[in-house]
Amino acid sequence: KEKHKILHRLLQNSSSPVDL
Amino acid sequence: SNGDSSPPDSDLEHLSENICKSHLETCQYLREELQPSNWQTVLQTDLDTYQKKSQEDMWQLCAVKVTEAVQYVVEFAKRIDGFMELCQNDQIVLLKAGSLEVVFVRMCRAYNSQNNTVFFDSKYAGPEVFKALGCDDLISSVFEFAKSLSSLQLTEDENGLFSAYVLMSADRSWLQEKTRVEKLQQKIKLAMQNLLQKNQRDEGILTKLVCKVSIIRMLCHRHMEKLSAIRALYPEMVQTRFPPLYKELFGS
Predicted ipTM beyond 0.85: yes
pLDDT at position B136 is 98
Question: Rounded CA gap, A6 and B96, in Å?
Answer: 11
pLDDT at position A15 is 61
Q: Which residues contact B65 (CB under 8 A, 6 or more apart)?
A: B120, B121
Over range B109-122, report the average pLDDT. Answer: 94
Q: Which residues of B touch A4 (CB under 8 A)?
A: 92, 96, 248
Half-sphere exposure of B63 (CA within 13 A, CB side): 27
Q: Name the B residues in 32-71 with CB < 8 Å from any A CB.
A: 71
pLDDT at position A2 is 77
Rounded to the nearest integer, the mean pLDDT of chain B is 94
Q: Which residues of A touch B252 (CB under 8 A)?
A: 3
Residue ranges in chain A modelled with pLDDT below 50: 17-18
Tell me whether residue B209 is exposed, middle or buried, using C-beta atoms within 10 angstroms of its C-beta: 0 to 12, 13 to 18, 19 or more.
Answer: buried
Structural element, H or E, at residue B124: strand B123-125
Backbone angles phi, psi at B3, to 5 degrees: 70, -155
pLDDT at position A3 is 86
Question: Rounded CA gap, B43 and B41, in Å?
Answer: 6
Q: Coil, helix or strand for B152?
A: coil
Q: State the smallest CA–CA distance between residue A17 and chain B in angstroms.
A: 6
